[in-house]
Structure 1
Amino acid sequence: MTRKLKVAVVGLGIGRNHILNGYRTNTERFEVAALCDLDTDLLHSCGKEFGVERLEKDYLEIVGMDDIDVIDVCTPPGTHRKMILAALHAGKYVICEKPLVGALAEIDELLDAESRSSGRVMPIMQYRYNDGAQKARHIINAGLAGKPLVATCEVHWLRDETYYEKDWRKSWSGALGGVLMNHAIHANDLMFYLLGPVRSLFARTATRVNKIEVEDCASISVELECGALATTSATLGSVEPLSRMRLCFENVTIETDSRPDFTAADAPWRFVAANDAIGRKIDAALADFTPPPSGFAGQMQDFHKAVCEKTPLPLTLGDARQSLDFATAAYWSAKTYSAVALPILPDHPFYNGWQNAF
């Protein structure tokens, strides 16, 4: 019999999507047992919608609930660190939305706390669970793609002043960053999930779309440890919003494009083989491959399995640290007009964060 994990969801903006697409699709694995939000009306409406009776505005009340196994943190980024530390101290498992924290020093603090806790932390990176992304990784891991050559990643979205009516979204203290930290983070993580770690980068950032503190445009040139070269660009001022990724290998080109009417999470993927023989091998490999459920459903399913079988989580603090390492290097490069090698070490000026540097 499958063990049900009891979950408390904290922050009912994106948290509501976690319930609908992550827990309601895994009802045999999870019970949403408590909800927490500072907005009383939202708290009660979600409680009624999902049939949850335990409703709290005080996060520490949630942490103190003995029967709760998992705390799902979906609050603004600037609140994450203290919430995760409190949950780990209480021995809870934690699921947390991106970005996890705003400094490598804080990730290392969480890693230390996790090492002393019976709980563990899983960052949300649901784009990895797109069917096409899983097929791409399967082809690459099978050795069919061959040598990686170049890649491009574009996150060209549209956010006007109404998006920033929530003040935390426009500030370094509340959002911890702009388009790099809160929008392009998923697509960049996905590119590095498929191609491997970053060796060095050169970045430019700017605020050109809205009157906000944080950046809303970015362009980054990347050298990967595998030898491939990549470019990633992001803006929140695209009249035609899209997410697009193109990976060129010696044997296949892999591409996804969210236009005309797909979201980034469910955009179709194309696999263009160099010749018929390679195409047949790719078709055969994919014929025997069943990807996990898409998006939150797949990530929560794998999380449940890892917790119950006491195996590594599908995404870890180590994965979150790689994303933060990339962002830290990008912000330093943009500030200093210099190329930056990764990883960022504890003696780096931005190891403790960059929020007061712009």
Structure 2
Amino acid sequence: MSRQQYRAAIIGTGGIAHAHARAVQSSGGRAELVAVADVDAGRAREFADKYGIPHAYAGADELLREQELDVAHLCTPPQLHAPIALACLEAGVTALVEKPPTLSLAEFDALIEAEQRTGARVATVLQHRFGAGAARLRRLAGAGELGRPLVATCLTQWYRGEDYYAVPWRGTWESEGGGPTMGHGIHQFDLLLSVLGPWTEVTAMAARQARPVETEDVSMALVRFESGAMATVVNSVLSPRETSVLRFDYERATIEVEHLYGYTDDDWTVTPAPAHEDVKSLWGADRTEGSSGHTGWFAAVLDALDQGEQPPVTTKEARRTMEFIAALYASAFTGERVRAGQITADSPFARRMDGTGAPWRNQ
């Protein structure tokens, strides 16, 4: 596999942009940050100086016009993801989009159409798929070493106080697209979906319990998968003891990970079923010291580009996750079970995640 050096830019210099800059700088020279853009020109220049980036711009359009790029890291507030990703595609630049990639399923489908039309690529940043533990779990499960998947639990119980929502774009359907279902739990349940495969139906509830926001601050869902496995998914920003937990109960073992914003091999535990102690040795055969995060994800992106393939997480894979989010909201707000494929282009929940409207909107 021949390796190239890729010209990269970062658009948006909020907190997550620093993780992207460090990932590029940790690529071993495979990528170079040549430009950064932010609507606050002073902040763009400060970010550029911090990371030794030669060019700083006051907007994405100017950056895309002035620079020849291979990839652009989109680290803006969510409502800007779709329009800037579209501009990148039109410029022939691969767009690496932070979560959530768009505000709606309809916006995401527009990106898929533009990707097919322009030949450029979009990849969603869902970095927890790329930790060693997740890769090992998918490999062992795919090889049949764990038996059938039966039961799973997916918990994102974080805490975000009112000061967090003082940022104007947070907590609204128009600018963030949703609450913890959209912007916090997505990492955990995307990993759940990457392990268990296609989901078939969702039954959910959501509520605005405590935060002064338009969106939910907690949601819960029961999910069935094509394999027959069933899962519980919880997304919360109301939980003082913060944790991120995934538990998979297979016929031959329980596999668990508990962390907060990123995991290492030390965060995983394996409990074999009786007569299946060999699972523990299979799990421990290739332990690593690395952690899940942007560095591993970006290395996978560069590997795909080197091979002329679509970088991860592909639009096909990310759409399954976005459809799951839309289905969860649709079930929560209508009180009905929602099946995969049920949210078609004419559904209000395809156009907006709040669809027919959150039940508390007039309270």
Do both share a fold (TM > 0.5)? Answer: yes
Q: CA deviation at 1:284?
A: 4.0
Q: CA deviation at 1:58?
A: 1.7
Query: 1:58 aligns to what?
Result: 59
Q: 1:52 to 1:156 in 2, by over 3 A?
A: same
Query: 1:269 aligns to what?
Result: 268
CA distance in 2, matches of 1:157, 1:106: 27
CA distance in 2, matches of 1:205, 1:281: 37
- Aligned pairs (5 A) from 1:150-299: 150-258=151-259, 263-266=261-264, 268-275=267-274, 278-280=276-278, 283-284=281-282, 287=285, 294-299=292-297
- Aligned pairs (5 A) from 1:22-61: 22-61=23-62
Q: TM-score, normalised by structure 2?
A: 0.92
8 Å contact kept, 1:242–1:264 = no
Query: 2:344 aligns to what?
Result: 345
Q: 1:226 to 1:130 in 2, by over 3 A?
A: same
**Correspondence 1:137 to 2:135:** no
CA distance in 2, matches of 1:33, 1:279: 51
Aligned amino acid, residue 93 of structure 1: T
Q: 1:76 to 1:146 in 2, by over 3 A?
A: same
**Helix, strand or coil at the partner of 1:175:** coil
Query: 1:330 aligns to what?
Result: 328
Q: CA deviation at 1:65?
A: 3.2
Q: 1:106 to 1:346 in 2, by over 3 A?
A: same
- Aligned pairs (5 A) from 1:86-165: 86-165=87-166
Aligned amino acid, residue 197 of structure 1: P
**Helix, strand or coil at the partner of 2:345:** coil
8 Å contact kept, 2:7–2:31 = yes
Q: 1:290 to 1:244 in 2, by over 3 A?
A: closer
8 Å contact kept, 1:202–1:334 = yes
8 Å contact kept, 2:257–2:267 = yes
**Helix, strand or coil at the partner of 1:168:** coil
Aligned amino acid, residue 251 of structure 2: E
Deviations 1:221-277 (Å, cap 9, x if unpaired)? Answer: 11111101110112111111111111101101001112xxx544447111111245x
**Helix, strand or coil at the partner of 1:116:** helix
Q: CA deviation at 1:280?
A: 2.5
Query: 1:15 aligns to what?
Result: 17
Unaligned ranges ≥5, structure 2: 359-363
Q: 1:60 to 1:117 in 2, by over 3 A?
A: same
8 Å contact kept, 2:326–2:349 = yes
**Helix, strand or coil at the partner of 1:172:** coil
8 Å contact kept, 2:30–2:302 = yes
**Helix, strand or coil at the partner of 2:174:** helix
Q: CA deviation at 1:109?
A: 1.2
Q: CA deviation at 1:286?
A: 5.0
Unaligned ranges ≥5, structure 1: none
CA distance in 1, matches of 2:225, 2:33: 40
**Helix, strand or coil at the partner of 1:102:** coil
Q: CA deviation at 1:52?
A: 1.0
8 Å contact kept, 2:121–2:310 = no
Q: CA deviation at 1:73?
A: 0.6
Aligned amino acid, residue 153 of structure 2: T
Q: CA deviation at 1:352?
A: 1.7
CA distance in 1, matches of 2:145, 2:189: 23
8 Å contact kept, 1:245–1:256 = yes
Among 299, 316, 319, the residue aligned to 2:317: 319
CA distance in 1, matches of 2:153, 2:292: 23
CA distance in 2, matches of 1:285, 1:240: 29
CA distance in 1, matches of 2:187, 2:29: 28
8 Å contact kept, 1:8–1:33 = yes
Q: CA deviation at 1:5?
A: 0.4
**Helix, strand or coil at the partner of 1:174:** coil
8 Å contact kept, 1:135–1:291 = no
Equivalences, count: 353
CA distance in 2, matches of 1:152, 1:73: 31
Which aligned runs of 4 or more in structure 1 are off by greater than 3 angstroms? Answer: 262-267, 288-294
CA distance in 2, matches of 1:63, 1:149: 48
CA distance in 2, matches of 1:30, 1:192: 30
Q: 1:16 to 1:229 in 2, by over 3 A?
A: same
**Helix, strand or coil at the partner of 1:122:** strand
